[in-house]
Each structure stands twice: as structure tokens, then as C-alpha cells.
Amino acid sequence: MAEQHEKALVPQIRFTGFTDPWEQRKLGELFEESDERASDREILSVSVANGIYPASESDRETNPGASLANYKVVHSGDVVYNSMRMWQGAVDASRYDGIVSPAYVVAKPNSEVYARFFARLLRQPMLLKQYQQVSQGNSKDTQVLKFDDFASIEISMPASENEQRRIGAFFDRLDSLITLHQRKLELLRNIKKIHARQDVCIGVFMAIITLFHGSPYESVTPEYGLGNDKHDYGRGFYLTANVELAKEWAVCRPDESNGWVHQYELDTNGLRILDFQEHSVLTWLAELMKHRDAADSKRYRVLAAKFIAKYGIDASGYDVIKGWRANASYFYIAKEFVRDNVDVDILEELLSLGGLGIQYCVKTAKAYRQLREVPNGLLSVSYSEFNDKYNQRDVEARQNMRDLIDSDANTVTNVFSTLL
């Protein structure tokens, strides 16, 4: 019998370096009840889920007028339990100094006890049953575990405080990991909720995008088949999501007349959209070369076909084309690039300096059918204000581009002729 009893006191799993049997001790040998009182310290609370924590971190409202005169003092390392909820596991070793309600029991450990180990041990299911058995009261809701009854309970524990510390630290690390993963899980759940709402928006709202068309004309009727083959993406109806850019487009002509911005909604559901922002800048340049030319540059005309064959893509099957807008500053870049004066490594940065903006080109009959003008969306545009902005943008762009081309960043190594 003695041998069986000793085997029972040796855990099957334990940390290396510890071989001594555990001891059987009564809690009253290890703890004494503390009845120190104060009212001028931080209020602590004890719960099954969170252990001991500052009451200020709780979502529960506190009564600011309640008297704290009889509250019990808690020192870091003291074990505190809710006498009416001990059988549920409302017990912990405090990490805080503070005070608790008189309904709680404060148990001060002796020198043999490592408090964080007992924070785990005292919540073991076997002990929770014992708390319920020795608690006083007629029902679970009225049962109270007094300290004397708590002190009578016998437990098995490591005689070595070092082993207690190892076990306590191990479970503390597990708790930290659990808390971390719970936070990550909550974050992922929130992200999922956000995306779920966005999916609804995409299905209901985002399939319809608001676009603007700048024009010198107050009345505009988009018609399939109209447009200029020599525009950026060929024949089509051009719009932008940037209303300020549309205002500049409306008055970019030198006739000094005011312009108009027309607001449209495009239902993109079922449309094939070619987005050049998802491709390389060379692919975008190749598309522009299909439709635009530089009449004063024979080299540009001769080499464009080879460049298009190598870097271009077939855009004929798309309902809408989305990409940067080319203006006068674009031609400045294009000519310098074809003349081998611009390294491809700075090409995209050069284009960004132009502030060209993103435009949409409606290409097919299907896309035209899904485009409608917004009633009361017409805006009048002042020529004097926005033509100046348009011209200033081009002047600044050319200067910034010239500065970058002349800088050391332009190594003139990976140039146009080397790409063919």
C-alpha cells in the first residue's frame, strides 16, 4: 500500500531534473487568511474567465458612492477567491496590489508556496468538486466556501519550489499564447465581418462605379462607334473617376470658353475590364503606340511596330480599358525614351511625375448599354480657373521630368533599343 501511495505522488509527466515524490498537504498548512483592511487602493475583482484583474478594466458598472471602508487588502502573490463562486473556479494568485470586496477571501501563502503554481492547481476540476462538497449552503447559488473549509482540503504538490516555478511559468506562457491567439482570432473575425460587408457592397454597390466626363459641351450623348482612333486607347468614350481632373479636361482647349463635367454611372457587372495598372509600363506604352504616333520622329515610327509586337497585348476582347491618360508631357517622355535618352528603370517614375491620372475608355456596345448619365449631375467649369491648372500641371511635369532625366538615377543603360 505504501508503495502504491508513493507511486500516486509521482506525476507521470514532469520536467527533467525533478524526481522526488510530491507531497500531500492541507491548504491550511500553506495559507493563512488575511483580514487586512483599507479603502485607498485600486479595486480588484475576481472572475472565472479572467482571474484577478483591476475593476477599472471591467465592462461592468461600479457604484461610485459605495463605501470601501471594509474592503480587504490584497498584495501581489496573495490567493484570492470568490467565496460564492469558488466551485466554478473563481480563484487566482494576484499580480496586483489592491483591495477586494469583503465577500472575497484573501489567503496569504507561506514561504513554501509559489503563488503562480497554485493559481493553476486551485482550479483543477478535482478540487472544484471538493469545494462544492465542503461549501455551506442549501443550493449552488447560496453555497459559501469559508476559509476554514478551504483550509481542510488536501492537495498534492511538489516539495520543491523550483518545480512549482517551472510548472507555473509553463502555464503562464500557455496562457499568454492562448490570449495572443484569441486576439488574433478576434482580429480575423473582425476582418471577416468587414470583408463580408464589403462583399455585399461589391455585389450591390461597387459593381456600379461613378465616373466623370469633361467636355466643352453642355449636352453629350455617348454613342457606340464614335470617337477618334488616334486617342490613347482608340475609339471610345473617355471618363475618369477624378472629378477635378475631369474639370481640367473640360477646358483644356485654347478657345477660352467654359466647360462642363457630366457625371455617369457604369455598371461593371459582366464587363471585361483591361486594367493597365496591373501590367508593366511597357505594355501600356505599347498600347498607346498602336493609336498615337510622333509624326516628327521617324525612329519612333519605325521601331514602334517591333515594340508593340514584343510588349503589346490584344485589347480587342475587352469592354472597358482602364489606364493612365497620355497628354503632351507623355509625348515628351515617349520621344526621349525612343531616342535612348531614358533608362527603363526610371520610366514609371517619370510617368508618375506627369500626374496623368487614370482614365476609363468605354469600348463595346455592351459597355455603352451599361453606362448612364446621372440626373442633376452636370457641373459648370470655369475656364480661367481650370485651364490654368491644366497648363500648370503640364509645365511642372515637364520640368520635373527633365530634372529626373538629367539626374544620376538615369543610367541610360537599359534603354529602348536594348529592349527590342
CB 232 within 8 A of CB 325: yes
What is the 8-class DSSP label of residue 205? I
DSSP codes of every residue in 16-66: TT--SPPEEEEHHHHEEE---B-SSS-BEEEETTTEEEEGGGSSS---TTS
pLDDT band, very low/low/confident/very high, at 5 (cuts 50, 70, 90)? very low
Question: Higher model confidence: residue 336 or residue 301?
Answer: 336
Q: What is the pTM of this model?
A: 0.50
With H, G, I as helix, E, B as strand and everything else as coil, classify residue 373: strand
Looking at residue 109, its amino acid is P
Element (H, E) at 248: helix 243-250
Predicted local distance difference test score (pLDDT) of residue 8: 53
Q: How confident is the model at residue 328 (pLDDT cuts 50, 70, 90)?
A: low
Where b means 16+ CB within 10 Å and e means fewer, 343-352 reads: bbebbeebbe
Torsion of CA 169, 170, 175, 180, to 10 degrees: 100
CA pair distance 142, 128, nearest whole angstrom? 16
pLDDT at residue 203, as a whole number: 43
User: 211-269, pLDDT tens digit by residue?
Assistant: 999 999 999 999 998 888 888 888 999 999 999 889 988 888 777 889 999 999 999 99
Out of 141-145, 291-295, 334-338, which region has the weakest mean confidence (pLDDT)?
Answer: 291-295
The pLDDT-based confidence of 204 (bands split at 50, 70, 90) is: very low
CATH of 22-57+66-156 among 3.90.220.20, 2.40.50.140, 2.40.50.100, 3.40.50.300: 3.90.220.20
Produce one character per residue of 61-80: b if its CB has 16 or more CB atoms within 10 Å, e if not.
eeeeeeeeeebbbbeebbbb
Give the pLDDT score at 368. Answer: 95
φ, ψ for residue 249 (rounded to 5)? -60, -35
Rounded mean pLDDT of the chain?
83
- Rounded Cα distance between 367 and 319, Å, is 6
Q: How large a percentage of the chain has pLDDT more than 70?
A: 87
Residue type, 180: L
Q: In terms of DSSP bridges, do strands 23-26 and 208-215 run parallel, antiparallel, or are they unpaired? A: unpaired
Least Cα distance to 303 among 316, 289, 322 occurs for: 289
Chain centroid to Cα 197, Å, comes to 15
Residue entry with cell 475608355: 361
Pick the residue with more confidence: 204 or 409?
409
Q: What is the pLDDT at residue 63? A: 55
pLDDT greater at residue 391 or residue 23: 23
| Domain spans in the chain, listed from the N-terminal domain onward | 22-57+66-156, 160-206, 207-419
Of the candidates 230, 235, 211, the residue with the CA atom closest to the CA atom of residue 365: 235
pLDDT for position 68? 84
Calpha distance 378→261 (Å, rounded): 6
Task: Say what percent of the chain tops pLDDT 90.
Answer: 30
For residue 288, the one-letter residue type is L
3-class SS of residue 376: coil
Q: Give the model's pLDDT for residue 200.
A: 44
Residues 6 or more apart whose CB falls under 8 angstroms from that of 92 comprise 46, 51, 52, 79, 80, 81, 119
Residue 172 has pLDDT above 70, yes or no: yes
* Bridge partners, 44 (sequence order): 54
pLDDT tens digits along 39-96:
889 999 888 888 898 988 776 655 555 678 889 999 999 999 998 888 888 899 998 9
CA dist 324 → 136, 180, 277, 278, 390 (Å): 79, 44, 8, 11, 16
Average confidence (pLDDT) over 265-294: 85
Residue 202 has pLDDT above 50, yes or no: no
Q: Does the structure show a pLDDT above 90 at 190? A: no
How distant, in Å, are the alpha carbons of 279, 282, 309 from that of 287? 11, 9, 10
H or E element that contains 361: strand 358-362
Task: Give the residue with greater pLDDT, 207 vs 78.
Answer: 78
Which of 378, 252, 383, 266 is closest to 326 using CA atoms?
252
Closest by CA to 57, choosing from 67, 66, 44, is 44
Q: Three cell numbers at 20?
A: 522526488
Average pLDDT over residues 196-201: 51
Q: What span, in angstroms and rounded, lies between the C-alpha atoms of 21 and 18?
A: 9
